[in-house]
Every structure is written in C-alpha cells, then in structure tokens.
Amino acid sequence: MHELEHVSLRAYLPVYGASAVKLAGAVCLRAPAAPDSPMLNRVVGLGLAGRVAEDVLDRALAAMGDTSFYVAVSPAADPALDHLLAARGLEPGWGWMLFERGPDPPPEIATALRIVDVDDTSAERWARIVAAAYGLPDTILPWFDALPAAAGWHAFLALDGDEPAAAAAVWIDPPAAYFGMAATLPEHRGKGGQGALFAARIGRALDAGCTTLVTETGELREDRPSASYRNIRRFGFEERFVVAHRLRRRAAA
C-alpha cells in the first residue's frame, strides 16, 4: 500500500472501530447506518500484498453485507484484481484522487466567518452539516457525532454569527495529517468557509509537527461535481494518483 493510502486508512480506522473487518491484508470499512453510501462503505487493501486470493476476495465482498460499497483498486494492486471484480458483477465506480501537501504555511483567508473547535456541545451540529452535505440519512448522525472524539481527529465549525455554516476535520499523527469531512450548507456557500477551515486545519497540523498532509476527493469527471477538487488544489495540495473503484450496489437498491 502506498504511504498516502496508508495514511488515509490509519485515519479512518479509529472512526470505524469494531465495524472495520480485517482479512489477510484487506480491510472492510462498514457503515451499516448508511447502507446506500459507497463513500462510507469500502473495501481497501486487496491485492497489495501480491496475488489476489480469491477466497479472501469473496470473504471481503460477503463481509460488506447488503450495502452499496466500493472496492478500491490501487495502482499498486495485483493487475488481476479489477478483472476478478468485474467477473463478480462489480461495475466501474468513481475513482478518488489522492493529494499531498508539504509543510508550507496556509494562505491568509479573508472571511467574516468564525472558526471554532468542535466540542461535546457542538458535535451534533457538526455532524448534521456533514450528513446533510453528503445527502446521508439521519441514521448516520451518531456515527458522525462520535468522529470529533475519535483518536487523532480534530473537528472544526465555521460560524456565521452563532449559526453553523460549514464543517471539516483533520486527523493528526505526526508526521502525517489527513484532511476530510469538508462540508458547507448551501445557504452559506461563497462566504469563504472552506478556505478558512483549510487554513485552520493546516495550521493545526503544522503546529503538531506534521510534514506530510494528505487528502482525497473524487477524480475529475465531466458528470461529477468538482468544487472540492478545486478547493484542494487552491490550498497547495498536489495530485499524486487515482485509486480506482469497483462498485457493488445493494440488493435493496
């Protein structure tokens, strides 16, 4: 597994906790509270230790249960993996671009919004912004509500007065930091919220001694939104490589 992929996985393991299933090098990240979201339900690491073992592949697919999920097809994976997934009926999905940034200071951001750390009293408001922005059901709220307290994670809110406008988080384990969960409510777009949240998170990571800053978002495609991609590039992150995905849709869908 490439180091950037490893940073992403390490960041999310404390969030998934016991819902993450490890199988001979592969990890099944399961979010049963959001069964229709392949963004939250994924299998990563298959084929990175050498030839794909078909019994491990089939166990990983079975472990995902009745969810819509992605299987990551890393550029470093066994070339047979994509063919084996296609033979099992998994369709091409939306690949994710991995980005990396060095320890340069963040740019100055002019905004009237105020950035604050998320605590026990604001975690639910933070969770609601993230879930709403990604079109996820209320059943996922307890999952997101627990993320700010997960090991290594720091969550932030952008406030317009006292009203939550945008949310984001960063996982820190020096020398690496992973940036995720960026979301803005539609009525607060264009106010500089995500820029201010990027600056706050970059500053927090640099203060902790991080030198490798990592994030990811959907690869550029004409039929997909690209605002997140542009924001990431604007704050000094550079494209490294795309991790392709195969998608299995849940039977109930």
240-251, pLDDT tens digit by residue? 999 999 999 998
Residue 228 parent element (H or E): helix 227-234
Asked if residue 43 lies in contact with residue 27, where contact means CB atoms within 8 angstroms, the answer is yes
**pLDDT attached to residue 227:** 84
pLDDT mean across residues, the chain: 95
Asked if residue 136 lies in contact with residue 27, where contact means CB atoms within 8 angstroms, the answer is no
Residue for token digits 């940036």?
179
Confidence of residue 92 (pLDDT cuts 50, 70, 90): very high
Percentage of residues in the chain having pLDDT higher than 70: 98
- Angle CA(126)–CA(132)–CA(135) in degrees, nearest 5? 145
Prediction pTM value: 0.95
Least confident of 33-37, 65-69, 119-123, 223-227: 223-227
Asked if residue 40 lies in contact with residue 181, where contact means CB atoms within 8 angstroms, the answer is no
**pLDDT attached to residue 1:** 66
**pLDDT attached to residue 252:** 66
The first and second tokens of residue 163, run together, are 């009203």
Confidence of residue 253 (pLDDT cuts 50, 70, 90): low
**Arithmetic mean of pLDDT, 107-123:** 94
**Arithmetic mean of pLDDT, 169-192:** 95
Asked if residue 117 lies in contact with residue 132, where contact means CB atoms within 8 angstroms, the answer is no
**pLDDT attached to residue 42:** 98
**pLDDT attached to residue 98:** 97
The number of angstroms, rounded, from the C-alpha of 197 to the middle of its chain's C-alpha atoms is 16
The count of other CB atoms within 10 Å of the CB of residue 130 is: 24
Residue for token digits 């009237």?
112
Written as one letter, the residue type at 58 is: D
**Arithmetic mean of pLDDT, 164-169:** 97
Cis bond upstream, residue 148 (ω within 30):
no
Radius of gyration of the chain (CA): 18
**pLDDT attached to residue 174:** 98
Question: How far apart are the C-alpha atoms of 38 and 53, rounded to whole Å?
Answer: 23
Residue for token digits 């924001």?
231
Question: How far apart are the C-alpha atoms of 5 and 194, rounded to whole Å?
Answer: 23
Asked if residue 183 lies in contact with residue 168, where contact means CB atoms within 8 angstroms, the answer is yes
- Angle CA(111)–CA(224)–CA(28) in degrees, nearest 5? 95
Confidence of residue 2 (pLDDT cuts 50, 70, 90): confident
Intervals of CATH 3.40.630.30 along the chain: 103-210
**pLDDT attached to residue 216:** 97
Question: How far apart are the C-alpha atoms of 178 and 155, rounded to whole Å?
Answer: 12
Is the CATH code 3.40.630.30 the one for domain 103-210? yes
The first and second tokens of residue 162, run together, are 């006292």
The first and second tokens of residue 123, run together, are 């975690």
pLDDT in tens, 204-236: 999 999 999 999 999 998 887 678 899 999 999
Q: Is the pLDDT of residue 107 over 90?
A: no
